[in-house]
């Protein structure tokens, strides 16, 4: 096929004759043995737990000279790191907040929940302890913040793994909502399979430093490889402004080891040569899913993403008539995103279709099929998925629409991403 440059594709975008497919649409075409050579751009995406995420915030907290410098700050009870600029006697705060930080007053509220509330423009309560032990309080919203960015130090993993407990007993982990029962009684997994950006471009041929993308719905940029990135297990770093993000794509996720943060990315993959096209053709059947012992993170086998992802598996249902009105609702207590309330059922806007409710509910009021992991002669049922392919596909469609409308031009990377 002829070589396409990003400049040529951008001219087609501006002219309104670009051919764009989401990664799901593209893989469906591959499965149907359709000709895909005319596709100019694939929009890829992923949503899931991305612990390596932090916010940098700057705002005026008080009038000048109300305090000298801040020693400690909390936002909705979540601890923030003060600095590096001291802002001496100016009344300003420069803060960093980790996505995995936990509120001192609510163990189920963390940095991811805070970021979502900021993006929703809710009032955020702040508390300051100054260097003179003075205690100051106030409220702030996103509109009052002079600077508010979200940065990724370790996002967009090239899928991840399925986790099992081979031993007797139950292991608490960030990869479970309650715990992982053993031996081999259940599995959880991460990764969006064939739609993942680093499955579409595993060699970083089109994704590079400066690549423009959507980060939680806002226009952002890739800044390089993420922490602990390797050739076998690459991931990315990047950033975007909180202003412009969509709360649907970000939030908190409560695991049995504490709250974590959910993030979403959609990245355009320009089909610039035959090698990029062939890599993009990989479907769930072609993508291995490592099976890992949660105790020591040792790989003990392999499945395929087609074992755990099918279109019908994106659906979780709730039958109110089957609910026995338990004295204490286990699902409401354990739902990792707070999407289920007995008073209103499933909030589809907040639900990430993780499937935890299927296992936790003693009444069988919830329905869904999460698939199973084959290992040796066993079929280990999946009881939790920590990636949200449904909303990743929604973000991919959003990016596709922006490109087709001429609102999103592709950026040429300023440098290659080097992974050791």
pLDDT at 321: 84
Q: Report H helices in 32-190.
A: 111-119
Task: Write down the domain spans for the chain.
Answer: 22-50+156-315+368-404, 52-151
**8-state DSSP, 295:** T
For 149, phi and psi rounded to 5 degrees? -125, 155
- Mean pLDDT taken over the chain: 94
Q: What is the pLDDT of residue 420?
A: 77
The burial of 234, by beta-carbon neighbours within 10 Å (0-12 exposed, 13-18 middle, 19 or more buried), is given as buried
Q: Annotate 316-384 with DSSP letters as a single string.
A: -EE-GGG----SS-HHHHH-TTS-EETTTEE-TTT-----HHHHH-SS--EE----EEEETTEEEEEEE
Q: What CA–CA distance (Å, rounded) separates 353 from 288?
A: 22
Per-residue pLDDT 10s for the chain (420 aa) are 557 899 999 999 999 999 999 999 999 999 999 999 999 999 999 999 999 999 999 999 999 999 999 999 999 999 999 988 999 999 999 999 999 999 999 999 999 999 999 999 999 999 999 999 999 999 999 999 999 999 999 999 999 999 999 999 999 998 999 899 999 999 999 999 999 999 999 999 999 999 999 999 999 999 999 999 999 899 999 999 999 999 999 999 999 889 999 999 999 999 999 999 999 999 999 999 999 999 989 999 999 999 999 755 568 889 888 887 777 888 998 999 999 988 888 998 899 999 999 988 988 899 888 989 999 999 999 999 999 999 999 999 999 999 999 999 999 999 999 887
Q: What is the pLDDT of residues 110-168, one digit of tens each?
A: 999 999 999 999 999 999 999 999 999 999 999 999 999 999 999 999 999 999 999 99
pLDDT of residue 84: 87
pLDDT, tens digit, 9 for 90 and up, residues 281-306: 999 999 999 999 999 899 999 999 99
Question: Is 52-151 in CATH node 1.10.3210?
Answer: no
The whole-angstrom separation of Cα 87 and Cα 66 is 12
Strands 70-75 and 124-130: antiparallel
Residue 314: the pLDDT is 66
Q: How many Å apart are CA 103 and CA 338, to the nearest integer?
A: 16
Distances (CA, A) of 291 to 190, 302, 384: 11, 5, 14
Q: Residue 313: its pLDDT value, please?
A: 57
Q: What is the pLDDT of residue 312?
A: 56
Which stretches of 102-211 are assigned E, i.e. beta strand?
124-130, 135-140, 147-155, 162-164, 169-171, 180-182, 187-189
């Amino acid at each position: 096929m002829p070589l396409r440059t990003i400049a040529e594709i951008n001219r087609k975008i501006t002219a309104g004759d670009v051919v764009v497919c989401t990664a799901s649409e593209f893989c469906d075409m591959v499965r149907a043995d359709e000709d895909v050579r005319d596709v100019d751009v694939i929009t890829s995406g992923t949503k899931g737990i991305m612990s390596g995420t932090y916010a940098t915030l700057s705002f005026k907290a008080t009038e000048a000279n109300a305090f000298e410098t801040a020693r400690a700050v909390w936002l909705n009870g979540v601890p923030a790191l003060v600095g590096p600029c001291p802002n001496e006697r100016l009344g300003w705060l420069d803060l960093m907040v980790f996505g995995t930080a936990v509120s001192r007053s609510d163990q189920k509220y963390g940095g991811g929940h805070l970021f979502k509330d900021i993006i929703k423009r809710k009032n955020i309560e702040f508390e300051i302890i100054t260097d003179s032990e003075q205690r100051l309080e106030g409220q702030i919203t996103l509109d009052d913040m002079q600077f508010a960015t979200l940065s990724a130090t370790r996002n967009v993993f090239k899928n991840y793994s399925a986790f099992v407990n081979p031993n007797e007993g139950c292991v608490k982990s960030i990869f479970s909502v309650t715990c992982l029962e053993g031996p081999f009684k259940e599995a959880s997994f991460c990764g969006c399979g064939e739609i993942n950006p680093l499955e579409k471009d595993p060699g970083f041929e089109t994704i590079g430093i400066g690549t423009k993308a959507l980060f939680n719905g806002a226009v952002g940029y890739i800044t390089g490889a993420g922490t602990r990135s390797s050739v076998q297990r690459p991931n990315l770093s990047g950033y975007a402004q909180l202003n412009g993000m969509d709360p649907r794509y970000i939030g908190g996720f409560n695991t049995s080891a504490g709250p974590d943060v959910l993030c979403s990315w959609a990245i355009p993959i320009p089909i610039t040569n035959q090698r990029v096209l062939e890599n993009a053709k990989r479907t769930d059947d072609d993508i291995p899913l490592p099976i890992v012992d949660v105790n020591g993170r040792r790989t003990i086998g392999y499945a395929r993403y087609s074992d755990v992802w099918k279109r019908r598996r994106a659906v979780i249902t709730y039958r109110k008539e089957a609910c026995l009105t338990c004295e204490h609702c286990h699902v409401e207590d354990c739902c990792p995103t707070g999407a289920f309330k007995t008073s209103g059922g499933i909030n589809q806007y907040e639900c990430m279709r993780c499937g935890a409710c299927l296992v936790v509910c003693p009444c069988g009021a919830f329905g869904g099929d999460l698939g199973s992991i084959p290992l040796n002669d066993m079929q280990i049922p999946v009881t939790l998925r920590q990636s949200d392919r449904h909303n990743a596909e929604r973000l991919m469609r959003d990016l596709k629409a922006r490109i087709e409308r001429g609102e999103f031009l592709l950026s040429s990377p300023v440098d290659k991403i080097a992974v050791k």
